[in-house]
Every structure is written in C-alpha cells, then in structure tokens.
Amino acid sequence: MEYDALIKSIDELASELLFLDSREIDIPSSGKFMNSLEEIIKEAERLRVAPLVQIATGLNQILQKMVFDTLPDKGLGFGTFESGIALMQEIAGTLQRNGEFTGDIQPFLEATANLTGVPIHSETPKKEGAPPPDQEPQVSKAQTQDLSLVKDFIAEGLEYIDEIEVNILNLEQDPENSEYINAIFRPFHSIKGVASFLNLENIRHLAHNLENLLDKARNNELTVTPPLIDLILDGADVLKTMILQLKDEIENRPVKPLNVDLAALAERIQNAEKLGADDVPDKKKLGEILVNDGVITNDDLDHALKVAQTPPPKKIGEALIDEGKATPKQVSQALRKQSEKAVDASTLRVDTRKLDDLIDMVGELVITQSMIQQDLSQQVNANKNLMRDISQFFRITSSLQRTSMRLRMIPIKQTFQRMSRLIRDLAKNEGKSVNIELIGEETEIDRNMVDEIYNPLVHMVRNAVDHGLESPEDRAKAGKPEKGSICLRAYHRGGNIVIEISDDGRGLNKEKIADKALRKGVVSSIEGLTDQEIYMMILLPGLSTADKITDVSGRGVGMDVVKQAVEKLRGKIEIESKLGMGTTFITSFPLTLAIIDGMLVKVGQEIYVIPTTAIRKTLRPAKKDYSQVVGKGEVVNVMGQLLPLVRLYELFGIEPEYNEPWDAIAVVVEGEGHAQCLLVDRIIGKAEVVIKSLGSDLKNIKGVSGGAILGDGRIGLILDTEGLFALNERK
C-alpha cells in the first residue's frame, strides 16, 4: 500500500505515452508529462526512493530537449524516454513486492546524460508554495524560447481559461458535481505544466496554487461555496491577463500593466486552503432548494422526509414525486442537470484567413456555375453527355458549398457561456440571485457572425438583469421564488438562427410605454395599436421607462442601438411580455453573412438584389390605389395602409421601362420599423447570391450594402432598404 500512489502516477505516465498519436510530443502532451514527472518526483522523495527521483529528473531533461527540438537524434530521445518509464515501472513494482530495489540505474543515467549533455543529480525540487520573484509575469524569458511553442501555449492557454470559466459556472449551479471540479482542475494542471517548460514562473505559480485549491475541493477537504467560486474566477481572470500580456510581448505590442496584487491573491488562496469542510456553512439540501423556489412548503418537506425514511427508504426527490408535491421536471431542475460530457473529436487548427480564402474561392466557383448554367440555357441543341457531366458538376459544387460553409460554423455555446458569466457578475453587483438556463448551446452559427451579434445580445441581457428581474424582496412580495431566472435559448428556423432571451421578472408595462411615447411625440394616438407594437416602442431612441438611471442602463439609449445592430445584420427583433410574469426578446439572424437569399429585380437595364428578409409582398398597384398626399408625397394603398412610393430609377438616375406605378411592380419592403414600396420594372426571380464587398471607396454609399456577380457575369447591387428610405426622405 505504501507505494500505491507512486505506482499509479508512473502507470498513468506510461498510459499517456502509449496513447500518443505519433512519436512526436507537442505542447499539450508535454505539459501532461511534466506534471506527471513532477508528481512522481514529489512522491519518490517522500518515500526516499532516490533512483526514481534521478530517473524522473533525467526524463524531464529529455522531455525539454525533445519539445525544443534540440536533441541530436529525436528517435533515440523518444526511445530513451520510453525505456526510462519502463525502468520506473520495474523499480516501483520491485519495491512493492520486495520492499527494496538492488538493480543498477547507472547505464540509463549515463545514456541520458550523453543524449542531453546534462549530468543527472538528485535535486530537491523547488518549493511550490514559494512566492514568485516579482509581481509581473516573466514574459521576457519566453523570448529565448521557440516562438512557435510560445504561440501554441498562448492559444491553448486561452482555450483552457474559457473551459475553466464554463465549468466553474456549471459548478456554481451544482456544487456537489465532482465531474465539474475535475474539468476545472485539468486545465489549471495543463497550464502549470507548460508554463513551467517555458519558464513563465508567475503563471506556473498561480496555476499551481489554484490547482491545489481544487485538489482539496475534489478530495472533500474544501466545500464549494460562492466565495470559493469567486476566488477561482478571479484567479482565472489574472491568468488570462498574464497570457494576453505574453501575447502582446511576442507580437512587439505595448504590454499593459497587470494591475493585480499577486501577493494578495496568493494570500486569499492560502486562506481559502486553510478552511476545512467543517468551517464552511452547510450546503442547501434538495428540499430547501425546492422550498426556496416555491415548489413545496415546509410542511410538504417534513412529510416527505418522514415518507423517505419509511422502509423501503427513498430519496427525498422520489418521495416528493410519489406524493405529488413536485414534478420530475421540478426535482430535476433543483438537482441541476449534469452537463453533457465533452466528446473528443479529431481536430485540426486552421488559420481563419485560410478558411476565409477557401470560402471566397468556393463562392467564385458557385458564381462560375451560375454563368455556365446561364450559357447552357441559351443553347437549344446541347450535347447530352456534356449536359449530364455539367449536372454532376453542379451537384458537386452545391455539396462543396454546403460543406465549406459548415467549416465556418461553430456552436453558439461559447457566446452563451460568456453571457452567463456576465449575468452572474451583474446579478452579484445588483444584489440579485439568478438561475441561468441555457438551451440549444450546440446550435451552430457562422464564426464571423458570433462577434457581430454579441454586443446587441449583451445589452438585452443587461436589461434583463437590471430592469427585468426584481430584487429578492420584491419577488418575495410578489409570491415568486427569491432566485430569478434568465433563459438563453437558440435554435434554427429556416435559414436563420433564432436567439431568445427570457426572464421571469416584472414584465413590460404597456401603459407606461404608451404614455412615454405620447409625451415624447413618437405617436399621436395609441388607438388600434397591438400590445406587440407598443412593446416595440422601447426600441425607439430615448424611450427608456426605467425608474432610475444605473451604471448598466436606464438612460434611454441602447435599445435603439440594439435594433440598429440587429437590422444591420439582416436580423429581426420581436418582444413578448406579460406584466408581472416576465419578458422575452426574440432575435433572428441569418446563419451567415457570406450568402444571401434575394429577389432579383430589373430597373431599366440594371438588375438589383433585394434581401428576401426585407420583403413583405409584391404587387402591381391599381390606378385607383395610387395617390399623392400633401406632406407625404406619392403613396400606394396596400390593404388599407398608405405606404410611401420610392422610385428606384430616380434615386439611381436610370431610365426606366415604366414611369407609371400601375404599369410597373411595387415591392413592399420593411425597415426602420415601417414599410415602403419600391417601384421596379420587372421581377426576374429568386436567387441565392454570394455577397461581395464593393471596396473601401464605395462601402459608404447609401442604399447599397454590397454586390453580387450574377449568372450572366454582370454585377447586381444588393439594396439596403433602410438606406433607401433615408435617401427617399432627403429628396
């Protein structure tokens, strides 16, 4: 039993080596090996097994030389590394059986010294708890290392931090889940190992201290509490800042100061480690959670406890369900669902610029396909074999386009998790307690869309926490659970991704909104307006109904910016609310900004593309439906509503086929919260077009958002309805 921990560490190291994909050791695997060797040295020193300390030290030297590619013979180095692990297994097994090892390790030590050029001595490892030599990350030491290794560490490190943040938030919802603790422990462990390789002492030291803290938690020496969660998040934030400092330094950019007292943070971690499970308040039980959430009463809980203790014994959740006091869903929510285990997949890092180049080339291929199709349609007696081959070419092109677009699709999960962290921090600052529910995290969206949609979504989340959710006292008075709820939900609908942000707060007061709109002169009357139309008024400039201004919101700016940001991305926003019950913001965005479904229309000799998301309907207006209204100009009566008429040929200076509206086609489009009719000569049809930028010189042209190469090789301008409305108003 004395050598069990030592044997386990050596066997784990052997297993990690066995499952390497090749005889190459990269940064992530080297970090794992270094951590394993460190544990072996520590345990071997405790048991006074000098041979194992010497061998592990030699393996460490080989490992460093292999990673930095300074071994004269990499194959020999890998073989020596393997034989060293096998020798350690032999020594540990002999000690377990006989209590002593009498073999000779000198040949191995000599071979290692000859290979690395470094003689092996049994040294005492540096004390892990010692404070770092200075307050700033020692990024300058990284400059002496292989820059490619440092860049790999930065990329891996930032991914590890994201992984830590995700799982620490999951752990906060389910403190007893050991899987979450292990999932947080492993990234810190990996960061520590690689940072040690690269001589990044402060990063290694902080990661090690946080790792120790989590080790105590997973061994039940510490209880997971909100202060512990805060401490780990603070530590992860500091690690992220250090890694970003390192990134700035190797890219020769100014390095921002850390502005963090590392000694104070280390002291907080040490103080937390001193707290045992007995010193921490007991965690809430399942029954208490259900009582606090208003699902059951204290009497229900007392009765269920008695039932649960009656033979055959039951769990409290089962007893409550059997008694009809709670539903399985309510018990499940109280227990918190365990997150789905991450599925390992073979992945390959690709520079995003290369990926974008690939998408652009596929777009060119699709355009060429359209041109070929256009030419073939004009041939009467085309060769049958040629037509068959080209049909196959079209199928392959379409499949290639779908596949290449999927390459750029990533789950919305990371965006949701970033917002979860934001919700948590905002709620804490506001003194509110919030339960966060994420649904549809695996729903995919174009990588280029992620950053674009983040800001408008963040503002809606801020409003949900600040204005939507009541304080715990107000919720209790309203008969609600003290802990509020915010749900982020994503799903695909048609060619769009729909993101819903819901809260169970106070809801929107439509009378208050309408009164503010009337006083601001936004509307002259609210008669005939639906609830939805009144709710949408909060998206207008300066129409905040907040009772007070806070650091988060309430100044009457922001929601109009949210609306503009959403519509700029060809998206739409809807609002559903019920007073006292909560509010839901429903936003829909196209899955990608690279391709657009559009309607091709002809004006004179020019062809334009109108995004189908903006089109309400098309019609040829009757002569009686056309009129001129004083102060409004030309209008068309569309189903009882007078809509302004926009003559595209006048805006763009084109000679049209038809001057009279009743001879042409009116396309009813929406934008800026209202609709107008665009007058065109003909509708050619619907098409999926690849969006092309017009370049820096033409990017700010009002009414035009981009261009597309059509099947006949001509350029079709993609119209921006909001810009057209603005142009029409200036006439």
Q: Tokens 């509307």, residue?
A: 523
Nearest-Å Rg of the Cα atoms of the chain is 33
Where do the domains of the chain lie?
4-116, 139-279, 286-335, 411-590, 595-730
Q: Which positions are annotated as active-site residues?
A: 189, 211, 463
Q: Tokens 């940072």, residue?
A: 195
Maximum CA extent, the chain: 109
User: Is 398 within 8 Å of 595 (Cβ atoms)?
Assistant: no
For position 594, what pLDDT does the model report? 66
Task: Give just the sign of the alpha carbon dihedral 379, 381, 384, 386.
Answer: negative
Tell me the residue ranges of DSSP E strands in 76-178.
Answer: none
For position 500, what pLDDT does the model report? 93
Q: Does domain 595-730 have CATH number 1.10.3720.10?
A: no
Query: For residues 552 and 550, what is the distance between their CA atoms, to the nearest angstrom?
Result: 5
Give the pLDDT confidence of 536-571 residue by residue, as tens digits: 888 877 665 555 544 444 433 457 778 877 877 777
User: Is 591 within 8 Å of 571 (Cβ atoms)?
Assistant: no
- CA terminus-to-terminus distance, the chain: 90
Nearest one of 82, 62, 81, 58 to 72, comparing CA atoms = 62
Topology classification of domain 139-279: Four Helix Bundle (Hemerythrin (Met), subunit A) (1.20.120)
What's the token pair of residue 440? 């549809």
Q: Which CATH class is domain 411-590?
A: alpha beta
For the chain, residues with pLDDT lower than 70 are: 1, 18-24, 26-31, 67-69, 121-146, 274-285, 329, 332-333, 335-352, 377-382, 405, 494-495, 522, 542-558, 591-594, 631, 671-673, 695-697, 699-700, 711-712, 730-731
Q: Tokens 């559009």, residue?
A: 598
Reply yes or no: is the peptide bond before residue 472 cis, omega within 30 of 0: no
What's the token pair of residue 702? 């009002």
User: Is 330 within 8 Å of 435 (Cβ atoms)?
Assistant: no
Q: Which CATH class is domain 4-116?
A: mainly alpha
What's the token pair of residue 250? 């190797």
The CA-atom distances, in angstroms, between 674 and each of 18, 331, 398, 614 are: 65, 46, 36, 11
Q: 10 Å Cβ neighbour count for 51?
A: 21
For position 456, what pLDDT does the model report? 84
Q: In degrees rounded to 5, what are phi and psi of residue 47?
A: -90, 0
The CA-atom distances, in angstroms, between 513 and each of 474, 507, 517, 518 are: 21, 12, 6, 9
Nearest one of 450, 446, 708 to 596, comparing CA atoms = 708
**594 class by beta-carbon count within 10 Å (0-12 exposed, 13-18 middle, 19+ buried):** buried
Domain 4-116 shares a fold with domain 595-730:
no
For position 135, what pLDDT does the model report? 44
For position 128, what pLDDT does the model report? 43
Beta bridge partners of 689: 596
Q: In degrees rounded to 5, what are phi and psi of residue 386?
A: -60, -45
Query: For residues 671 and 334, what is the distance between their CA atoms, to the nearest angstrom?
Result: 44
How far does Cα 449 stand from its chain's mean position? 11
User: Is 31 within 8 Å of 70 (Cβ atoms)?
Assistant: no
* CA within 13 Å, CB half, 296: 27
Give the pLDDT confidence of 266-292 residue by residue, as tens digits: 888 888 876 553 444 444 567 777 777
Task: Give just the sign of the alpha carbon dihedral 393, 398, 401, 404.
Answer: negative
